[in-house]
Amino acid sequence: MRKEPGSRYYVEGIEVPETPEPRSEQEQWTQTEYVGKPRPRVDAYERVSGSAVYPSDTYLPRMLYGAILRCPHPHAVVKGVDTSEAEKMPGVRTVISAFTPDDRATQPHSELIHTTLFSTRCRYEGETVAAVAAETPYQAWDAVRAIQVDYDVLPFVSDERRALDPDAPKVHDEGNQVAPTDTYERGDVAQGFAEADVVLEEIYRAECEIHTPMELHGCVAKWDGDSLTVWESTQGVYNIQAGLAGALGLPLSKVRVVGHYMGGGFGSKLQAGKYTIIAALLAKKAARPVKLTLTREETYLAVGNRPASNMRLKAGVKQDGTLTALEYVGSGASGGYQAGGTSLLDWLVRDLYTCPNVRTELTNIYVNAGPARPMRGPGHPQCAWALDQMMDALAEAIGMDPVELRLKNVPTVSQARGGSPYTTTGLKQCLEEGAAAFRWKETRAAIAREGNTNHLRRGVGMAGGLWAGGAGGPPSTVIIKLFSDGSVNLNMGASDIGTGTKTVMAMVAAEELSVDPDAIQIEHADTGTTQFATASGGSKTVPTEAPAVRAAALDVKRQLLDLAAGEMGVEASGLTLKDGKVVSIDDPSQEREITALRSLRRRRSITGVGYRGPNPQGKAVNPFAAQFCEVEVNTRTGEVKILRFLAAHDSGRVMNRLTYQNQVFGGITMGIGLAMTEARVLDGDQTGKMVNKNWHDYKLPTALDVPADMTCVPIELEDPEANSVGAKGLGEPATIPTAAAVANAVYHATGVRITNTPITPMRLAQALADARKGE
């Protein structure tokens, strides 16, 4: 049984309390004062000035520094660890390994595989072997280097395409296939291909990418008797709390995790790392706070990746553009342990375009390399790389415009969910309005007219997309306090992972309470003091938290109007809030300053509680997208210049025009990384070690790789059914179609189709030379 998409991130079907009464008073906003307007971030000054305190900026009195010894081999048995030299070194306070007592905590790698904290059989380069805490980071690293490890180096396999060969070394003794191949089927593909006028087949591959957030993974751990506080760079403090409590056998209540600011995660900071637990153990043993920040190199090896994906796609289409069949075989690299090597890798094939006959197969494979983790839209950008390049090829084969072909196949229901209707689907509008704003037809006509025979060739490309998550859902609890001076305190557990969550939530509360967002102080991401929230991931933070914030604000508003009604001698239902005043709806001359309400002054505060209500029954809530780009290719050198990008997104209501645009431009930038520059390189034929584990050799796109001309076209459909604010997720959809759009534009410019990411000058210069030879 395959899990429902997005179930990693939140829980469906649980009982949730609701305030106010389900859906009462929660009409969709029609006119807004704050929501939807472009508003700079509430913490912009702190972030830009450097005064924001991130976990990596946290220094506690008497704090020690931790460092981890990691296995340098992709596959090895640890026969012994000699820490005697290290223990004697200056400044060293404690050393732990698999061979020291009391350090046998286990850590969940996934629901099914628990591993010990320190491995005696290391299945990837970078597994933890021992750890040190010392007075300075330099002393800690000197001590790590002084630890002697006796390794029995084993044969390894790094390429998932070879890992299922009978003679391939075994990552796990049971074999290298993580689980039986997962299949999905609807209709009859053989029949579908028989009905097609054109059938095409192609093999695609997306290379492994690393998340590389700006802030390194790490934490500071401090004990207070038997209770533990951890400051961690994380997407979800409650996930870290659960990971720590589980591994250390502590009650949840004794573990406090704080994560106010964090410098990016992209899916790699959804859970507690081994390093988190190691920091806590070192701190316990040394009886001192310990800071453990990984090095950049460690983060390349051991804290997740977007797995390499292999995709074979066969597609059938009729001359009129009707898709008749899609057959898709995918495989991916789980890494050394069970992880989502193929998670959601077929979702777009199943759900994006109307097709009655679909068959997919996914095989998740162990290799001796770091385990995968969700990365911004797991499975989707890779699947789009295959599917939307295929759509382009089909369009060409039947002589149809690529946008037309997609428009011909826009579904109104979620085919992969047995035909559940979408609350809203803006795919058609994304395609149409995006193409119009991009001047798609005109640009294609102009390129055709000019002949494109120079060595600098222009091309345009596009791709569609949807994200299997993006609905959000319970549980989430938010508390809002209104003070007697009219200022407001918003308390929520959610992390702001750089997307502007705090700003959006302040705008939501401000909207209902009619106060300036700047009057709202936000307390968040602290398991000790803020309310339960799921991790910020899966593009669900706005659709999960904003309705809970709105509900809490409405709860405050109801109580406040009740108080005012008594004092003003008016029915509460006839009152509303406006600019810090309670105003009669019928007679605006009847008004009272909130600060003038006697009963509020006596009470000092009003507290409102909001819960996230359930999602609509039997309906799918998903965001949709279409992206368009124009490139110029130098056919002598294979250099690609992306001239412009346009992204049309249906993510429901735009909550803040600025942070919306940030997500879209950031998503495009990351997609350009997949398309053009990024790939993990393993020395697979010799040592199995990663050769490009730094920011120079692993090439992230720079400002010069991203066009200055980027346009964001929100398709704002009203979606009252989705949730009480009508917003859907945006962060992940923004990066899903990007790489495929680039590949299609390069093809349009050159007639050369690059099916393996990234499209570097290396790959393209060779492909263009091969094409010239073939001419």
Partner 1 sequence: MLPKFSYVRATSLDEAVRLLSSDDGARVCAGGSDLLGCLRDQVFECSRVVSLTGIDGLRGIARTRDGGVRIGALTTIADVAADPTINQSYPGLAQAAGELASPQLRNQGTIGGNICQKPRCWYYRGDFDCLRKGGTTCHAVAGESEFHCILGGAGCFVVHPSDTAPALVALQATVRIAGRRGTRSVPMEEFYVLPNQDVRRETVLEPHEIVTEIVLPRPAAGMRSSYHKVRARGAWDFALAGVALALQFSGNRVTAGRVVLSGAAPTPWRSREAEEAIIGKQLDAATAAAAGRAAMEDAVPLRRNGYKIPLFQGVIEEALLAIGRA
Binding site for partner 1 (CB under 8 A): 72, 137-138, 141-142, 295, 455, 634-639, 676-677, 681-683, 685-687, 689, 691-693, 696-697, 699-705, 760-763, 765-766, 768-769
Give me the least distance between CB of 677 and partner 1, in Å please. Answer: 5
Specify the residue, 503 or 635, whose C-beta has the smaller distance to partner 1.
635
Q: Residue 539, SS3?
A: coil
Specify the residue, 233 or 634, whose C-beta has the smaller distance to partner 1.
634
In this structure, how many other beta carbons lie within 10 angstroms of the beta carbon of residue 227? Answer: 14
What is the 3 state secondary structure string of 330-347? Answer: EEEEEECCCCCCCCCCCH
Give me the least distance between CB of 422 and partner 1, in Å please. Answer: 38
Specify the residue, 3 or 455, whose C-beta has the smaller distance to partner 1.
455
Specify the residue, 368 or 534, whose C-beta has the smaller distance to partner 1.
368
Give me the least distance between CB of 454 and partner 1, in Å please. Answer: 12
Specify the residue, 234 or 295, whose C-beta has the smaller distance to partner 1.
295
Helix, strand, coil fractions of the chain, as percent rounded to 5: 30, 25, 45
Give me the least distance between CB of 694 and partner 1, in Å please. Answer: 8
Specify the residue, 635 or 744, whose C-beta has the smaller distance to partner 1.
635
Specify the residue, 124 or 353, whose C-beta has the smaller distance to partner 1.
124
Q: How far apart are CA 564 and CA 571, in angstroms?
A: 9
Give me the least distance between CB of 162 and partner 1, in Å please. Answer: 16
User: How buried is 165 (Cβ within 10 angstroms: 0-12 exposed, 13-18 middle, 19+ buried)?
Assistant: exposed
Give me the least distance between CB of 633 and partner 1, in Å please. Answer: 12
Q: What is the DSSP string of 599-668?
A: HHHHH-EEEEEEE--PPPTT-B---EEEEEEEEEEETTTTEEEEEEEEEEEE-BS-S-HHHHHHHHHHHH
CA atoms within 13 A on the CB side of 309: 36
Specify the residue, 415 or 750, whose C-beta has the smaller distance to partner 1.
750
Residue 652, beta-bridge partner list: 727
Give me the least distance between CB of 771 and partner 1, in Å please. Answer: 11
Give me the least distance between CB of 775 and partner 1, in Å please. Answer: 14
Q: Residue 571, SS3?
A: coil
Token couple for 426? 């803006």
Is there a contact between 167 and 133 (Cβ–Cβ < 8 Å)?
no
Residue with tokens 């942070």: 659
Residues 6+ away with beta carbon under 8 Å from 44? none
What is the 3 state secondary structure string of 653-704? Answer: CCCCHHHHHHHHHHHHHHHHHHHHHCCCCECCCCCCCECCCCCCCCCCCCHH
In this structure, how many other beta carbons lie within 10 angstroms of the beta carbon of residue 476? Answer: 28
Specify the residue, 140 or 390, whose C-beta has the smaller distance to partner 1.
140
Give me the least distance between CB of 262 and partner 1, in Å please. Answer: 24
Residue with tokens 């053989």: 190
